[in-house]
Every structure is written in C-alpha cells, then in structure tokens.
Amino acid sequence: MVRHTPRIAIIGAGISGLACALELERHGIIPAIFEQRARPGEAFNHVGGLLQLMSRPIRDEVAYLRKELHLPVKPLARWNRIIMHTPRVTRTVTGNLGYFFLRGQDENSTESQLYSLLKTPVYFNRYADWRALAHHYDYVVVADGTPAVARTLGCWQDLVETWVRGAVVLGDFDPHTLIMWVNTEYSRHTYAYLTPFNARRASLLLIVNDSNPDEIEEKWRLFWEIEKLDYQVLDSFSVKHTSGYCYPPQVGNVLMVGNAGGFMEPFLGFGVMSAFRSGVYAARALVSGKSYLSITSDLRRKIAHLATIRRLLNNMDNEDFDNLVRFITTPGIKQLIYNTNIDVLQYTTVLLNLFEQVKKKVRPGTQK
Ligand SMILES: Cc1cc2nc3c(=O)[nH]c(=O)nc-3n(C[C@H](O)[C@H](O)[C@H](O)COP(=O)(O)OP(=O)(O)OC[C@H]3O[C@@H](n4cnc5c(N)ncnc54)[C@H](O)[C@@H]3O)c2cc1C
C-alpha cells in the first residue's frame, strides 16, 4: 500500500509553527504555513529568558535545541544572575541560570532565525480560518498563540489571565542579569522584570494577573513610582496573555501547539521552550503516526506542577513574598534550586510544605 504524503497546514509563523514546519521539512514534507502578519515575530522587540530550572532534566537548552530538536538557534546571551526585589527583601542568585533570547521582528530574533532556516515559503498577510483548513488539508497544526481554537473545541481550561505592559528602556545594565520585582500593589500575584538587550538597552515588563487594559496603565505608573525607576523609555506595548490547560491537544485532524496547546506555563508565563518542543513533537507525531497526546504528556505534567505553585502564589501577600524570597535564597535551598540539575519542580509540594513551616515560624498563627 502506498501511503500518500499528508497535506498539512500550519496556522502561525511564531516559534511553535516554525519549529513544526522545520521538523516536517526535515522529513520531506512541505507544509502550507499561514501567518497573519507581514513577517515573523511580535511587532515589539523584547528579550525573553529561558530558565534552566524550568527545563530540567535538560541541562543546556541551546545544546538540546540543536542536538535533539535540530534547531540551531543562537541565544542573545547567557543568563548568570537574578536580582529579586520584594517590598522588604533584595536577594541575588548567580550560576548558569539559562539564556536570554531576542524576540520580535529584528533580523536576529529567535523567530527570524527559525524563519531563515526554513525553505518552505510562508503565506504572509494571510489570516487563516482553521475550520476551512481542516476541510481542505489532512491535518491542521494550530500555532496561533491563542486559546481560541481549543476553547471552541471544548478542550481548554483557563489557568491564569494576565496583561503584560512592556517598554524598551535605556540605562546601564549587565547583559547577563535579570532583575525581578514583586509587590502586590502593582503586580498583584505576578511580577515585573527587566532583561537586557545589551549594556545600554533593556526590555522592562510588568505582568498583572486578572487585569484589564485600563488598570494595567495605572499599575505600570505605580510600578515606576514605587520602585523609583528613572529609565528613558523608547517603545511601549501591552498585550493580553492567557495560559491554560488544554486536553486533549489533538481533536480529529487538528493539533494544537505552543500557547494554543496550553504549553505556556502558569507560574512565570514562560512558553518558549515548550513552544519549540510541542511544535517539533506535533511534526514527529504526524510523520510517525505516534500519538501527539502521549508524546506531549511530560510537558503537561510540568504545567500541572506549575499550576500548583500558581495557586499558592495567588493567595500570597507582600509579607509572604518577602518570606518566599528569603526561603529560596537560604544557603542550601538556593544551591538545590539553582545550582543542581535536580528537577525541583517535581518536588514542589515538598518544598511548599517546607516553606509553609518556615513561614509559620516567622509569622506564628498564619493560616494560609
Ligand atoms: C511580552 C512577552 C514576554 C514573554 N517572555 C517570555 C520569556 O521570558 N520566556 C518564555 O519562555 N516565554 C515568554 N513569553 C511567552 C512566549 O513568548 C510564548 O509562550 C511563545 O511565543 C509561544 O509561541 P507560539 O508559537 O505558541 O505563539 P506566538 O509566538 O504568539 O506565535 C503565534 C503566531 O500566529 C500568528 N497568528 C495568530 N492567529 C493567526 C491566524 N488566524 N492566521 C494566521 N496567523 C495567525 C501570530 O501573528 C503569530 O505570529 C513571553 C510572551 C510575551 C508576550
């Protein structure tokens, strides 16, 4: 029996869609790729972090991308330091923490690098309708960065909804350091962070859960005021971000990858590594006939661990955040979390119980 080459459409030329297309190409399949924008990448440039702690047991994400996923993308810089600020505590963590990646439409951005590896043409300026494509193609890979299709198919459950307010700022920065701020007054139960493009330019983001376009502007103003920031602002943007649980990530001939498949985690809102992975896994499932649901089960397990942490954070106040930062930077705990390759996220329940005990000692009578 001759098996015909499947006709595959991909919606979205973001990280997951391009990763999927490249893996299909590697197996001799030319997909049809539809992208609503004129080129790959968000209109605003920013610097994303790949935190090794979140990718364990993968030791080095860049080597993993090159060797295991055949995606030779170059990071912007190594990430060697985090400075954490909560209202009453400032702590620093150092080590091989991961990498910074350039995002957006710059020619060196991660999306542009993936696109330059691709031989298949992308249909730009083409908004794709998944229902129509599902009729005309054997398979549709939804890589559109949104939960819309999964919601329609009834396989999506929201975990966190946030608004992200960002800017490109000028100042003096260490290109290997991420600065993070947490204060419920402006970030509610999420956080703000700064990641450098270089020694003079950085992206500054404030993420606020359960917010809206008007409130995020007020929170942004408050953030600058409380933290007494005086950077010069070059560029600004705001976007909505939803992370959720998607099960199953394939319905009929429709496969959902990246954010669309529920692979952006709900703790810090990181989704780059799992966008690469789920894109490649979808291609491998289609090529091999293996189940996409089972190939992605590890990714979902991680999301479930991080959803547990998210639930805990959603009940915390500023004093809890002060104590949490003290706790995770206590000698011993800090080394365990940041300087080993133990997949600590698997043991979140143990760590969180330990934290609760420490918290009760610091603040007797705490019932949270
Ligand atoms: C400001 C910001 C900062 C972030 N920081 C980090 C970080 O530090 N670390 C990290 O790991 N993650 C971070 N993330 C999350 C990460 O960017 C996402 O998880 C990742 O980009 C998801 O990739 P994706 O391919 O699923 O979707 P996207 O990258 O969003 O790509 C989706 C593509 O689909 C296109 N599209 C949508 N609908 C259609 C349609 N109907 N037809 C055609 N094309 C369509 C879009 O134009 C877009 O190009 C951040 C996200 C944002 C917004």
DSSP-assigned letters across all residues of 213-262: HHHHHHHHHHHHHHTT--PEEEEEEEEEEEEEEESSSEETTEEE-GGGGT
Distance CA 51, CA 58 (A): 11
Q: Atom 5, ligand 1: which residue's CA is nearest?
A: 48
Is the beta carbon of 238 within 6 A of some atom in ligand 1?
Answer: no
Measure 109 CA to ligand 1 centroid, in angstroms: 13
Residue in 142, 149, 259 to alter for ligand 1 test, most ligand atoms within 8 A of Cβ: 259
pLDDT at position 77 is 98
Is the beta carbon of 197 within 6 A of some atom in ligand 1?
Answer: no
Q: Which residues contact 299 (CB under 8 A, 6 or more apart)?
A: 263, 274, 277, 278, 281
Q: Atom 31, ligand 1: which residue's CA is nearest?
A: 14
Flag whether pLDDT at 2 surpasses 50. no
Is the beta carbon of 31 within 6 A of some atom in ligand 1?
Answer: no
Radius of gyration over alpha carbons of the chain, in Å? 21
pLDDT in tens, 272-326: 999 999 999 999 999 999 999 999 999 999 998 899 888 888 989 999 999 999 9
Flag whether pLDDT at 354 surpasses 90. no
CB atoms within 10 A of CB 333: 17
Q: Atom 37, ligand 1: which residue's CA is nearest?
A: 144
pLDDT in tens, 60-112: 999 999 999 999 999 999 999 999 999 999 999 999 999 999 999 999 999 99
- Please identify which residue in the block is written with the tokens 């400075």: 83
120: its two tokens: 């298949």
Distance spanning both ends of the chain, measured CA to CA: 63
Is the beta carbon of 143 within 6 A of some atom in ligand 1?
Answer: yes
pTM, two decimals, is 0.94
pLDDT in tens, 152-173: 999 999 999 999 999 999 999 9
pLDDT at position 368 is 41
Flag whether pLDDT at 121 surpasses 90. yes
Q: Are the C-beta atoms of 133 and 173 separated by less than 8 Å?
A: no
Q: Are the C-beta atoms of 262 and 244 separated by less than 8 Å?
A: yes
- For residue 49, the cross-strand partners are 100
- Starting at the edge strand found earlier in the chain, the sheet holding 177-181 runs 46-51, 89-103, 77-86, 177-181, 192-196, 201-209, 156-170, 232-246
Nearest to 312 by CA among 266, 278, 274: 266
Q: How far is CA 146 from the centre of its chain?
A: 13
Is the beta carbon of 118 within 6 A of some atom in ligand 1?
Answer: no
Is the beta carbon of 51 within 6 A of some atom in ligand 1?
Answer: no
Is the beta carbon of 321 within 6 A of some atom in ligand 1?
Answer: no
Is the beta carbon of 34 within 6 A of some atom in ligand 1?
Answer: yes
Flag whether pLDDT at 17 surpasses 60. yes
Is the beta carbon of 123 within 6 A of some atom in ligand 1?
Answer: no
Measure 14 CA to ligand 1 centroid, in angstroms: 6
Measure 17 CA to ligand 1 centroid, in angstroms: 10
- pLDDT band per the 50, 70, 90 thresholds, residue 3: low
Percent of the chain topping pLDDT 90 = 83
Is the beta carbon of 282 within 6 A of some atom in ligand 1?
Answer: no
- pLDDT band per the 50, 70, 90 thresholds, residue 4: confident
Average pLDDT over residues 119-125: 97
pLDDT at position 341 is 85
Cis peptide before 196 (omega within 30 of 0): no
Distance CA 179, CA 85 (A): 8
Is the beta carbon of 37 within 6 A of some atom in ligand 1?
Answer: yes
Residue in 76, 118, 144, 257 to alter for ligand 1 test, most ligand atoms within 8 A of Cβ: 144
Distance CA 295, CA 285 (A): 8
Is the beta carbon of 47 within 6 A of some atom in ligand 1?
Answer: no
Distance CA 162, CA 86 (A): 20
- pLDDT band per the 50, 70, 90 thresholds, residue 360: low
Is the beta carbon of 93 within 6 A of some atom in ligand 1?
Answer: no
Q: Which H/E stretch holds residue 202? A: strand 201-209
Residue in 23, 79, 103 to alter for ligand 1 test, most ligand atoms within 8 A of Cβ: 103
- Please identify which residue in the block is written with the tokens 């995002």: 103
